[in-house]
Amino acid sequence: MTTRRTFLGTTLLAAAGGTLAAKAPSEVRPRGNAPRVVSTWDFGIGANAAAWKTLAAQGSALDAVEAGARWAEADLCNSTVGRCGYPDRDGVLTLDASIMDGDGRCGAVAAIEDIAHPISVARKVMEATPHVLLVGQGAQDFAISQGFKKTPLLTDDARKAWQEWRKTSNYAPRVNAERDGKPGDKSNHDTLGILAIDAHGRLAGACTTSGMAWKLRGRVGDSPIVGAGLYVDGDVGAATASGVGEEMIRSAGAFLVVEFMRQGKSPAAACRAAIDRIVAKRPQASKGVQVCFLALNKLGEVGACALQDGFVYAVCDGADAESNVLTKSTSVYGA
Ligand code: SD4
């Protein structure tokens, strides 16, 4: 398999199964009022394709982002989301997810175990409870009460990678993840963040992850924290994040991006301003970590910015491969 680094070092598309925009613009303009879906990382191509089926059938942005997130959660090649995710330092796989629509409705689960589709549990929290966030055993109990099945999720590969990691037990998040098929040399972070606007102009977003591999037991990242890893305001736009979640929580990152768009910034400029804020507050700490923001405004314009080089996102306007392309994000510390 191709690593993200080699993938980005070439023009090709085979690894992701998608098209990399030749001279990737940092901002992608919309096509009229057509629907659009955007997702983080190269696996965003697959998530977008799954979401597009809903958008093409005049479905809602909310259904679309859930479908895209479910695709990523079921992806057997992804050690950072869902069933193939890497565990915490005790060898336990815990999943985080959130979902939100443009009317401020939201739901999330954190540190849920043995449930294959946390994004759908998050949606149930949103729709069937008066709450926003359920965690741990309570989240699992709730899922089971709603008909979700308890399934052991840790794969043999993930267990082997954890056993390898335990030889050093060194928690050192990489700047960008690699998925090169070598146990012990895989990613310890990446997340699917997916944002959509449907044919009626409704916005929604979802975020799903297994969090940072080898994290302390009980650690929760930004992805299930509304305002950190995901935020949507139908009057303005939507934003999601990937990278070291502690930075997004400290900065209320996704909310910050949406607020910058509310002030009139384009999605790309809003993402850049949020990254600049993180750098300004923690100049030294921000050098060794990756933080990535992706935003979609209510006009369907898309933009992104990352701390470091290497962040890519997928923008989808149709069912064919040419309409679902990867774009390189700009970055602050990168080239
Ligand atoms: C977390 N933000 O749990 C997630 C992990 C991630 O790229 O996105 N990594 O902190």
Could you tell me if 61 and 198 are in contact, meaning their C-beta atoms sit under 8 angstroms apart?
A: yes
pLDDT of residue 285: 84
Average pLDDT by stretches of 10, the chain with 335 residues: 31 39 50 87 95 97 98 78 82 96 98 96 98 98 98 90 87 59 45 96 96 93 98 98 96 98 98 97 88 96 94 95 95 80
Does the residue 9 lie in any domain?
A: no
Does the residue 184 lie in any domain?
A: yes
β-bridge mates for residue 101, sequence order: 204
CB of 324 closer than 6 angstroms to any ligand 1 atom: no
Give the chain's domain count: 1
Does the residue 12 lie in any domain?
A: no
* 212 Cα nearest atom in ligand 1: 3
pLDDT of residue 16: 39
Residue 323, domain CATH: 3.60.20.30
Does the residue 310 lie in any domain?
A: yes
Catalytic residue among 191, 209, 327, 330: 191
Does the residue 290 lie in any domain?
A: yes
Does the residue 24 lie in any domain?
A: no
**Domain region containing 95:** 30-168+178-331
191 belongs to the catalytic site: yes
CA 243 to ligand 1 center in whole angstroms: 4
CA 228 to ligand 1 center in whole angstroms: 11
